[in-house]
Chains A and B, each alone.
Chain A
Amino acid sequence: MASGIQVASPADVALSVRELTVSLPEGMERAHAVVNISFDLKRGQILCIIGESGSGKSVTANAIMGLLPKAIRVSAGAIHLDGTNIVSLSPDKLRSLRGRVVSMIFQDPLSALNPVMTVGAQIEEVMAAHDVGTPASRRSRAIDLLIEVGLPDPQLMYHQYPFRLSGGQRQRVMIAMALALEPAILIADEPTTALDVTTQAQILKLIRDIQRRKGMSVMFITHDFGVVAEIADYVVVMEKGHCVEQGSAEQVLKSPGHLYTRRLIAAVPHLTGTNRAPLDAAERRPILKVECLVKTYRSGSALFRTQRIVPAVNGITFDLTLGRTLGVVGESGSGKSSLGRLLIKLMESDSGSILFEGRDLAQLSEAKFRPLRPKIQMIFQDPFASLNPRSTVGQILTVGPVAHGMRYSEACERARELLFHVGLDSGAFDRYPHEFSGGQRQRIGIARALMFKPKLLIADEAVSALDVSIQAQILKLLDQIQRETGVSMIFITHDLRVASQICDEIAVMHRGQIVERGPPSQIFLAPKSSYTRELVAAIPGEQPGSMLEHEGYVEYPKQGETL
């Protein structure tokens, strides 16, 4: 790979990685986390490393920071930082480089900040650790930094603890800490993945602005091609520890050379403004009618007057036509997941009604509702937490139907049939969930929901935890299932792009209420509410003139292809 890159003159290159190989301890899935990768980060540029989970992108970043765990070590290659090879450097010398020459921001700003130190103290600590300035100068510098990253009321913010800040604010504090010593290089490891889409747009803009203002070099690690299109000058694509393609952002995004890059770009869900072709079902009657549904969370104690009241779902009304899909879209805290749980009665509503096939579910007791449970099933978000680790796949699938009176042999037969139908071989029946990958587990979750031939399927962030290529497969599977069985679906997601792929109609939720509802063409092309407009504008890589081009519906990977 190294021979393919022309070596830039050393003065232009802030960071140069040459033939880097990082080996994993024995007994892991593969021998190397990263094999023979080379790339240059030029001064004043943003380099994006993109790859799916397990591609070795985070290991690369940690190797550059000298933060690899003990068992994982660099076995070959060199990392040049301003001309010094840091691979063989002593821990003390490395420590003096960290923060001063390179700094890093992490994915989860809550766990990366110390919960018992104030924001100001943490920023000052970075400077104190490198013996920079006096207490007074550090303090004024910390406040300057808080202003620089755009935090409101920096004097007050200085004395705040991390738990008082929102996710976006915490990430701004992390960036302030990383900038404290004016490093030449900033490494950002998925800094926006844990954030809402509107916050993500703000943080991306902030990183871009700071990079331009200071002429910094940024290495940005992400799994989202939308983010790459938004921010990158140069792109490195990684797959399973290998660097499969690199080049300027325009080159990689517009004319990807490697098959893997092309597949990855094709799998990125795009916002489509076209409405979904409706199923040709004869009946157009509503299956579900929700009226003025309310759920309020209460925590603390009324007795000691410490009660906090949070309205999660605040008077929601909608209906769902038989055989169609309603997308429920919103940011975290909008109440979309609470809504899903209310509909399936995993939680009791405070008031309002849920009319399902003419019966009000909200009034039913658990015992009266149990016979109806088979008709409404749910696909859960986390494919790792939603399957009992101590049960075999066969037990997971058959236990429900058997409890509802199906004969065991019949249930087994149906389970094997469904496993095949969702794309798993029949050997899966006797295995345990931990033997499967995330995408395969989500297929098991879908098979479980289909065991009863349900009338209504609720998918709660069913594809959020999956890589884009797997996401595309699961969306296709859900689409296929709906076309075959005519099941009605409520698809809850935070990702507008995903919602636009699969939904006939979309409801946008904000603070427990539906602010807008309509077909994708209306929501994405002519949004009526200002919140929807804001949400649509924040989607990365979808702005006019964006480098990521696409037309109409997403191209799914062809049949028989597994990514």
Chain B
Amino acid sequence: MTVIAAHATPTRWWHSRAVYRFMRHHLALVGIAMITLLVLACVIGPYALPYDSLHIDLRARFAPPLSGHHYLGTDPLGRDLAARLLMAGRISLLVGVSAMLLSTLIGTLVGVTAGYRGGWVGAALMRTVDGFLSYPSIFLVLALAATLRPSPVMITVIIAVTSWMETARIVEAEVRSLREREFVQAARMVGLSGKHIMFREILPNAMGPIIVAASLAVARAILLEAYISFLGYGIQPPLPSWGNMLNGAQQYLASAPWLAIIPGAAITIAVTSFNFIGDGLRDALDVRNDHI
């Protein structure tokens, strides 16, 4: 028997066209850079700053930005705003990312099961998704947050529970089309179990859309956390979050505008950066954007 050499050289993922397309998406690169800076600042920053976020200095109340050692000024209790902003960033980003992970997990499980099983199981699951979607999520979040004891973990769970439906829909559509592909038929032919086919054969092929949805979900989760905390049902002071910092700044808008502007800017930067990354990933993973 003649040996037909497999002449192609193995390719590595960082040489792939998707990475190349992502690198050409300048806004996405800016987004990655901003998020990296923000995360580094929130992790390291509080140790590097001269003041603790809970240190109250009543002689230095309402210090404007760049006054003395208070780089971003102080709040009505004389606490250092920079330190509070970075501590709040830890909470807000952590809640955002964890809520995304949880909602992606729920959405993927529901989507894969509904898409692969189809029939009445699929119909029941997808009608549940429709049910969740038809209820305005902000009211659902507020109702849940008002009845349950608000803590960072609880807020994360509440956000995840109200935002998994989009992922579920995307995954369901993707899996339904993958299910008809010949390699899935081949997997059934060699006698693999349904669970194995769903999660080991189909899921890796649906990762593209899931990653895109996840990166956009982080942005939405951060925004949602800010909403709830701003309205007073979310993260409770003295634990800072970007949302409740905005809440506290409301009454001083005229006299100390930096109290609102600075956490507001942080939210904006984080959310737009994640959205840029999501756009970049979507373009990079979409083969139709290959103009070569």
Which chain B residues border A425 with CB–CB below 8 Å? 3-6
Which of B75-83, B85-93, B190-198 is found at the contact surface with chain A?
B190-198
Interface residue SS majority, chain B: loop
Which of B3, B185, B188, B205 has a CB less than 8 Å from the CB of A423?
A: B3
Q: Taking CB as reference atom, which chain A residue is nearest B206?
A: A390
Chain A residues lying within 8 Å of B185, measured Cβ to Cβ, are 341, 346, 378, 380, 386
Q: What CA separation (Å) do A421 and B186 show in the bound complex?
A: 21
Q: Is the CB of B186 within 8 A of A386?
A: yes
Most buried by B among A25, A400, A401, A452: A400
Minimum CB–CB distance for A365 against chain B, Å: 13
Q: Which of B2, B8, B190 contacts A377 (CB 8 A)?
A: B190
A561 CA / B205 CA spacing, docked (Å): 37
- Partner of B182 from A373, A382, A480, A561 at Cβ < 8 Å: A382
A404 contact from B5, B181, B191, B200, Cβ within 8 A: B191
B4 to chain A: closest residue by CB: A423
CB of B134 within 8 Å of the partner chain: no
A403 and B183 contacting across the interface, CB-CB below 8 Å: no
Checking A403, A436, A561, A562 against B8 with a beta-carbon cut-off of 8 angstroms, the contacting residue is A436
Q: Mark A244-283, 1 if CB is under 8 A from B, else 0.
A: 0000000000000000000000000000000000000000
Contact A385 B182 (CB under 8 A): yes
Q: Is A88 an interface residue (CB 8 A)?
A: no
Find out whether the CB atom of B204 lies under 8 angstroms from the CB atom of A390.
yes
Looking at B2, B183, B204, which has the most chain A CB atoms within 10 Å of its CB?
B183
Q: Are A431 and B4 touching (Cβ within 8 A)?
A: no
* Partner of B1 from A381, A421, A427 at Cβ < 8 Å: A421
Q: Determine which of A370, A440, A562 lies in contact with B2 in the assembled complex, contact meaning CB atoms within 8 Å.
A: A562
Smallest CB gap from B207: residue in A: A390
Partner of A374, one of B8, B181, B183, B191: B191
Does A420 contact B187, Cβ atoms closer than 8 Å?
A: no
**Across the interface, which residues of B come within 8 angstroms of A385, CB to CB?**
181-183
B66 within 8 A of A: no
B3 pairs with A388, CB closer than 8 A: no
Name B191's contact: one of A341, A370, A480 (CB within 8 Å).
Answer: A370
State how many residues of chain B have any CB contact under 8 Å with chain A.
Answer: 29
Tell me if B3 and A424 are in contact (CB < 8 A): yes
Partner of B11, one of A422, A435, A436, A559: A435
> In whole angstroms, what is the CA distance A548 to B179 when docked?
43
Q: Which residues of chain B are near A378, meaning CB under 8 Å? A: 185-186, 189
A346 is contacted by which of B11, B181, B189 (Cβ under 8 Å)? B189
For A559, the closest partner residue in chain B by CB is B2
Question: Is the C-beta of A91 less than 8 angstroms from some C-beta in chain B?
Answer: no
Shortest distance in angstroms between B10's beta carbon and chain A's nearest beta carbon?
Answer: 6
| A435 B6 Cβ-Cβ under 8 A | yes
A344 at the interface (CB under 8 A from B): yes
- Say yes or no for A110: interface residue by CB 8 A criterion: no
Please report the C-alpha to C-alpha distance between residue A541 and residue B118 in the assembled complex, in whole angstroms.
Answer: 47
A448 touches B183 (CB 8 A): no
Question: What's the Cα separation between A385 and B182 when bound, in Å?
Answer: 5
* Residues of B143-190 contacting chain A, CB below 8 A: 181-183, 185-190
- Interchain CB contact under 8 A, B189 and A431: no
B1-31 residues at the A interface, CB under 8 angstroms: 1-6, 8-11
Let me know if B188 and A346 touch, CB within 8 A.
yes
A448 to B5, CA, bound (A): 18
Collect the chain B residues with CB atoms within 8 Å of residue A374's CB.
190-191
Q: Tell me which residues from 59 to 92 in chain A have a Cβ below 8 Å from any Cβ of chain B.
A: 71
- Nearest-CB distance from B292 to chain A (Å)? 6
Asked if A147 is at the interface (CB within 8 A of a chain B CB), the reply is: no
Contacts of A545 in B (CB 8 A): none
**Residue interface bits A385-402, CB-to-B below 8 A is 1, else 0:** 111111100000001110
B-facing mask of A427-462, CB < 8 A → 1, else 0? 110111001100110010100110110000000000
Q: How far is the CA of A436 from the CA of B190 in the complex (A)?
A: 22
Say yes or no: B3 contacts A448, CB within 8 Å: no
Which bracket fits the contact residues of A? 35 or more
B180: nearest chain-A partner, CB-CB? A385
Determine the distance from Cα of A547 to Cα of B228 in the docked complex, in whole angstroms.
82
Please tell me if the beta carbons of A562 and B4 are within 8 angstroms of each other in the complex.
yes
CB pair A403–B4 under 8 Å, yes or no, is: no
CB of B46 to closest CB in A, whole Å? 41
Q: In the complex, which residues of chain B have a beta carbon less than 8 angstroms from the beta carbon of A435?
A: 6, 8-11
The interface residues of chain A lying within 8 Å CB-to-CB of B204 are: 388, 390-391
Contact of A427 with B189 in the complex, beta carbons under 8 Å: no
Expressed in whole angstroms, the minimum distance between the Cβ of B165 and any Cβ of chain A is 25
Q: Is the CB of A448 within 8 A of B186?
A: yes
Chain A residue numbers with a CB within 8 Å of B11 are 432, 435
Residue of chain B at shortest CB distance from A403: B192
Could you give, for residues 519-563 of chain A, a 1 whenever the CB lies within 8 Å of some chain B CB and a 0 otherwise? 000000000000000000000000000000000000000011110
**Which of chain B's residues has its CB closest to A382's CB?**
B182
- The CB with the most chain A CB atoms within 10 A, among B6, B192, B200, is that of B6
The reply on B52 being an interface residue by CB < 8 A is: no
- CB of A399 within 8 A of CB of B4, answer no
- Is there a chain A Cβ closer than 8 Å to B283's Cβ? no
A71 with B292: CB separation less than 8 A: yes
In the complex, which of the residues A400, A424, A562 contacts B190, with contact meaning CB atoms closer than 8 Å? Answer: A400
Which of B6, B187, B188 makes the CB contact (< 8 A) with A428? B6
Q: CA of A458 to CA of B183 in the docked complex: distance in angstroms?
A: 15
Evaluate contact between A390 and B205: CB separation under 8 angstroms.
yes
Chain A residues with CB under 8 A of B10: 430-432, 435
Cβ-defined contact, B4 with A388, below 8 A: no
B195 CB → nearest A CB, Å: 11
Q: Check A423 against B1 for contact (C-beta < 8 Å).
A: yes
Cα–Cα, bound, A452→B190 (Å): 9
Which positions 221-271 of chain B face chain A at CB distance < 8 Å? Answer: none
**Which chain A residues border B6 with CB–CB below 8 Å?**
424-425, 427-428, 431, 435-436, 440
Residue contact A377 to B1, C-beta cutoff 8 Å: no
Docked pose: A561 CA to B5 CA in angstroms: 13
Give the complex CA separation of A346 and B181 in angstroms: 12
Q: Report the Cα distance A374→B185, complex, angstroms.
A: 14
Interface residues of A in 319-342 (CB under 8 A from B): 341
Q: Which residues of B contact A432 (CB under 8 A)?
A: 10-11
> Given the complex, which residues of B lie within 8 Å of A391, measured CB to CB?
201, 204
State whether B205 touches A400 (Cβ < 8 A): no
In A406-423, the 8 Å CB interface with B consists of 420-423
Mark contacts of B30-67 with chain A using CB atoms, 8 A cut-off: 1 yes-contact digit, 0 otherwise. 00000000000000000000000000000000000000
Q: Can you report 10 residue pairs joining A to B where beta carbons are below 8 Å apart?
A: A346-B189, A381-B182, A385-B183, A388-B205, A390-B204, A423-B4, A431-B10, A432-B11, A440-B4, A559-B2
Can you list the 6 inter-chain pairs with the closest CB atoms, starting with the nearest? A400-B190, A373-B191, A435-B8, A386-B182, A390-B204, A385-B182
A-B contacts besides A377-B189, A387-B183, A420-B3, 11 pairs, CB < 8 Å: A344-B189, A346-B188, A371-B191, A378-B185, A378-B189, A386-B183, A403-B196, A420-B1, A423-B4, A435-B8, A436-B8
